[in-house]
Amino acid sequence: MNTSRTLAAIAAAAIATLTLSASAQAQSGPVPSSVTLYGSVDQYVNFMKSSSGRSLTTVNDGAMLRSRVGLRGSEDIGGGLATTFTLEHGLYADSGKQNDSTRFFDRQAWVGMASPWGEVRIGRQNTAAFYRSEYIDYSGRTLGSLSNHYGLPARYDNDLSYISPRFGGLQLEAHYAIGEQARGGPSSKAVWQFAADYLDGPWRVGYAGVHARPPADSPVGKTIVFDNLYLNYDHGNGRIYLSVIRSNNSTSSSVGLFGNNAGNILGATGALVAGTDVNARRYHNIVQLSADYRLSTTWRVGGMIGRIADTSGREQGADGASVGAFYSLSRRTTLYTFLQTLQNDKNAGFVMAGSAAVLPNFAAEDVNGKSIRALQMGIVHRF
C-alpha cells in the first residue's frame, strides 16, 4: 500500500466532506461556524557560491513561506466559547512532493477551545518561538536571517498549550508536549515551552523558550534549550529589531552531507531528545541586529547583521549579513530578493535555510570553514 497516496486520498475526502457540509449548512440558513481553506505557494531561484569554488543554481521552495495548504475553522458554542481547529499540509511546489512522506498534515493538526480567558489547544502545533518569528528580523526569521540558519525547533506532536488574551499589553503562552515513553513517566523526553510578549505603542519586547528533556538514564543528560529574547521598535516606516538566542541545539547534518552545524538535535519536524548527542554540551549565543524601511505602499527594504558565537572555544561559530527587497504586486502576491553572506569559522559548518530547507545544498567540504555568498529571487502567493 502506498502510504502517501492513502493519506492524500483521506485528506481529499475530508476536504470534500467539509465542503459539502458547509454548502448544506449555507442552504439551511446561517450557522455560527466556519471552515477556511488557505495556503501559500513560494518559489525562488537560488544562486549560491562557496569559497571552495563550488557553485549551485537551483529552483527552491519556501524562502519566506513553506508552500502549504490547510484547513482552519471555528464553531461558536455559546457562552463566549468556541471550538477551533487547524490542519496544515506542507509541500514542495517545485516538484509537487509532500514535505513529509510519513504524514499528510505534517505542519499542524490540532483542536482547541477558545474563550474570553484564552485558548487551549491539543495536537501537533507550532512552537511559541516559531509563532514569534516575525518579531525577530526584517525577513520574519526566514531566508535572510542568520538565526534561521542556526535552526529553530518548529513544532511538536502530542502538544498541550494555553495562549492567554492580551492584558495590559502582555500576552502569555505555555506548552507541554508529552514524550509518550513507556519508561520514565510522562516527563521523560517531554518538551516544555513558555513565552511572554509585551506590546506598548511602538515597542515590543518578549521571550520565547523551548526546553526538551532527554531520558533520565541518558549518556548525555543535557536538556536541549532554545531561549530567545527579542526587542523591536516601530519607527513609523518600518522596524528596528534586536534578537538574542542561547541554545545547544546545533549538531552535524543528520545525513552527514552538509556540514558540522547543518543539523539540529531538535529537528523542525518535532524530534525528541535521545540523550546521545555529545553536541548537546556545546552552546551558541546568537546576536542579530536588523531593520527595515517602507519606501512606499508597495516597496519595502531591509537588512541584517549577526554573529553565532561558539561558547565552547572550538571555533564553530559564524558571521552573517543580508539585505532584501520586497515588492507587493497585490495584497496576496509579493516579489522578493535577498543578497546574503555566511562566513563559517574554522571548524563551523552552517548552511543557509529558508522557511523550507535549501535543497540541494553544498556538501560538507564546501561548507565547513568556508564562506557562502548567495542571491535569491522569488515570488510568494498567499490564498
Higher-pLDDT residue of 256 and 368 is 368
Characterize 72-94 residue by residue with b for buried, 16 or more Cβ atoms within 10 angstroms of its Cβ, and e for exposed: bbbeeeeeeebebbbbbbbbbbb
The separation between CA 285 and the C-alpha centre of its own chain, rounded to angstroms, equals: 19
Q: Is 331 helix (H, G, I), strand (E, B) or coil?
A: coil
Judge whether 28 lies within some domain.
no
| pLDDT at 21 exceeding the cut of 70 | no
Query: What is the percentage of the chain residues whose pLDDT exceeds 70?
Result: 89
Judge whether 27 lies within some domain.
no
Domain coverage including residue 343: 3-13+40-382
User: Number of folded domains in the chain?
Assistant: 1
Query: Nearest-5° angle of CA 263, CA 264, CA 265?
Result: 130
Q: What is the pLDDT of residues 146-193, one digit of tens each?
A: 999 999 999 999 999 999 999 999 999 999 998 876 665 556 789 999
pLDDT of residue 71: 98
Judge whether 33 lies within some domain.
no
Judge whether 30 lies within some domain.
no
Judge whether 228 lies within some domain.
yes
Its pTM stands at: 0.88
C-alpha cell at 213: 528533556
Q: What is the pLDDT of residues 188-244, one digit of tens each?
A: 789 999 999 999 999 999 999 999 999 888 999 999 999 999 999 999 999 999 999
CATH number of the domain within which 262 lies: 2.40.160.10
Judge whether 34 lies within some domain.
no
DSSP class of residue 178 equals -
* Helix, strand, coil percentages for the chain (3-state, nearest 5): 10, 50, 40
Neighbour count for residue 163 (Cβ, 10 Å): 18
Characterize 101-138 residue by residue with b for buried, 16 or more Cβ atoms within 10 angstroms of its Cβ, and e for exposed: eebbbbbbbbebebeeebbebebbbbbbbbebbebbbb
| pLDDT at 11 exceeding the cut of 60 | no
Judge whether 124 lies within some domain.
yes
Q: What is the pLDDT of residues 60-118, one digit of tens each?
A: 999 999 999 999 999 999 999 999 999 999 999 999 999 998 899 999 999 999 999 99
Lookup result for grid cell 513529509:
100
Judge whether 335 lies within some domain.
yes
